[in-house]
């Protein structure tokens, strides 16, 4: 199990590297376009208090970027180090997200993923999310999901 904690300014470089490692596999599928998380300004997101890291043996092995909205939590990024994928870390991060939302009085978590990330299209429904719609935003073909936390236990 990893420890999940709020990101600190000194984590920013590791977050940028994690995003590159986790998302680079999709560049070819997206016709050479880098996924949006590869362009995020992690120092700024950390300063805003929107990033949590999963740490194992003093290394950043996963991250969440969460934005608190009036009626839900927006999960903008969930990334797991390729070496830790398939170990349950993604579920641990999703469970953290659910708890974060509940603690802040939100009963829904929303996210989107790129339609080229076919693994995610199967992964999120297995963890209680339902597809709400599809659309193009900032040139990315996105699939939107929501998870209703009322009556659901992590």
Confidence (pLDDT) at 153: 58
Confidence (pLDDT) at 152: 61
Residues in a beta bridge with 3: 55
Q: What is the pLDDT of residues 103-151, one digit of tens each?
A: 999 999 999 999 999 999 999 999 999 999 999 998 999 999 999 999 7
Q: What is the pLDDT of residues 36-95, one digit of tens each?
A: 999 999 999 999 999 999 999 999 999 999 999 999 999 999 999 999 999 999 999 999
Confidence (pLDDT) at 1: 83
* Residue found under tokens 């073909």: 141
Give the predicted TM-score (pTM) of the model: 0.94
Under a CB-based contact definition with an 8 Å cutoff, are residues 114 and 133 in contact?
no
User: What is the number of other CB atoms lying within 10 angstroms of the CB of residue 77?
Assistant: 23
HSE, side-chain direction, 13 A CA sphere, residue 40? 30
């Amino acid at each position: 199990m990893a420890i999940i904690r709020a990101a600190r300014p000194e984590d920013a470089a590791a977050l940028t590297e994690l995003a590159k490692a986790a998302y680079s596999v999709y560049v070819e599928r997206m016709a050479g376009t880098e996924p949006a998380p590869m362009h995020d300004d992690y120092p700024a997101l950390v300063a805003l208090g929107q990033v949590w890291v999963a740490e194992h043996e003093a290394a950043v092995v996963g991250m969440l970027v969460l934005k608190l909205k009036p009626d839900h939590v927006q999960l903008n990024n969930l990334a797991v180090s390729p070496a830790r994928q398939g170990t349950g870390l993604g579920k641990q991060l999703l469970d953290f997200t659910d708890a974060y939302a509940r603690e802040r009085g939100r009963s829904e978590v929303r996210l989107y993923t790129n339609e080229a990330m076919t693994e995610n299209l199967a992964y999120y429904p297995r963890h209680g999310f339902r597809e709400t719609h599809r659309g193009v935003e900032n040139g990315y073909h996105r699939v939107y999901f929501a998870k209703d936390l009322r009556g659901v236990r992590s």
